[in-house]
C-alpha cells in the first residue's frame, strides 16, 4: 500500500476553522504546509512493515518505520510484537531551532483468551522532545501564546491519555492489562488499566534560541500516569 499527502490546514476538535492552522504540538511553531509519502508491505498474515517520510516546511524532516509481528501460540494464545521508530531533523529555515532526535518504542502484547498483558519500552534520544503535528482551533493561531492541540499523529507505544512520555532523553516503561468481556457473554464491553513511568528527562542541551528552550531547565525529569 502506497500513500502520500499534502496538508495546509486542519480542523480541531473545538473549531470548524480551516485557515492554515497547523503547528507543532510541543514547540508551538506554525507550519505552512506538511507533506508525506510512504508505504506499508505485508510479508505474510503475521508480519507487516511500514516506512514513511514527512516534510514540515522550514521546520523539520521526519522519518518513520514500524514493524508488527503476530505469533499464534495456540488457539487462544498469541504474542504481538510492535516496533516504532522516528528520526527528526531540522530543515530549511529551521523556525523551531536545532532538532536532531531519534525516538523508538517496542511493545510485547500477550493475549490469552479474553486477557491481554502488554509491556512496552520507549526512549527519546536527543536534546529536544519528540514532537509531532498539531491543529489549532483558533483562527490564525501561531506560537505567540496559542497552542496547537495534538492531532493524534503519533505512533509510539507509551503515548497515553495525558502524557506522551516524549521529553528529551526520556526513558519510559508501560504495563497494561486489557479485558475483552465478549468472552463472558457481554459483546462490546471492554476494560483497560495501565501504568506508565518515565525517567531521565534532560533538556539542558536544547537550543536556547529555539522553540524548545523551555526544556533547558529540565534535568533528571520524571513523570508517571495511571489510567
**For residues 64 and 84, is the Cβ–Cβ distance under 8 A?**
yes
Each residue's pLDDT tens digit, 70-119:
999 999 999 999 999 999 999 999 999 999 999 999 999 999 999 999 99
User: Residue 198: its pLDDT value, please?
Assistant: 98
User: Residue 77: its pLDDT value, please?
Assistant: 97
pLDDT grade for 137, boundaries at 50, 70 and 90: low
Each residue's pLDDT tens digit, 195-210:
999 999 999 999 999 9
Does 141 score more than 50 pLDDT? no
Each residue's pLDDT tens digit, 42-56:
999 999 999 999 999
CA 49, 150, 211: angle at the middle one, nearest 5? 100
Does 223 score more than 80 pLDDT? yes
So which residues are the catalytic ones?
A: 6, 58, 153
Q: 42 vs 15, which has greater pLDDT?
A: 42
> Mean pLDDT score of the chain, rounded to an integer?
92
Each residue's pLDDT tens digit, 142-160:
445 467 877 778 999 999 9
Q: What is the pTM of this model?
A: 0.91
User: Residue 145: its pLDDT value, please?
Assistant: 47
Amino acid at each position: 500500500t502506497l500513500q502520500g499527502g499534502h496538508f495546509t490546514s486542519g480542523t480541531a476538535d473545538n473549531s470548524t476553522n480551516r485557515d492554515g492552522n497547523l503547528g507543532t504540538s510541543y514547540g508551538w511553531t506554525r507550519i505552512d504546509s506538511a507533506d508525506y509519502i510512504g508505504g506499508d508491505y505485508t510479508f505474510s498474515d503475521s508480519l507487516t512493515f511500514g516506512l514513511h517520510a514527512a516534510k514540515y516546511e522550514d521546520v523539520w524532516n521526519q522519518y518513520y518505520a514500524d514493524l508488527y509481528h503476530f505469533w499464534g501460540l495456540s488457539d487462544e494464545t498469541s504474542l504481538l510484537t510492535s516496533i516504532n521508530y522516528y528520526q527528526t531533523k531540522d530543515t530549511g529555515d529551521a523556525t523551531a531551532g536545532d532538532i536532531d532526535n531519534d525516538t523508538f518504542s517496542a511493545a510485547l502484547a500477550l493475549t490469552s483468551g479474553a486477557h491481554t498483558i502488554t509491556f512496552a519500552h520507549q526512549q527519546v534520544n536527543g536534546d529536544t522532545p519528540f514532537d509531532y503535528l498539531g491543529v489549532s482551533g483558533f483562527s490564525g493561531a501561531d506560537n505567540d501564546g496559542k497552542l496547537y492541540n495534538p492531532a493524534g499523529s503519533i505512533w509510539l507505544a507509551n503515548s497515553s491519555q495525558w502524557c506522551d512520555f516524549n521529553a528529551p532523553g526520556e526513558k519510559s516503561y508501560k504495563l497494561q492489562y486489557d479485558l475483552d468481556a465478549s468472552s463472558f457473554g457481554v459483546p462490546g464491553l471492554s476494560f483497560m488499566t495501565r501504568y506508565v513511568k518515565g525517567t531521565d528527562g534532560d533538556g539542558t542541551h536544547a537550543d536556547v534560541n529555539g522553540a524548545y528552550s523551555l526544556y533547558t531547565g529540565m534535568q533528571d525529569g520524571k513523570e508517571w500516569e495511571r489510567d
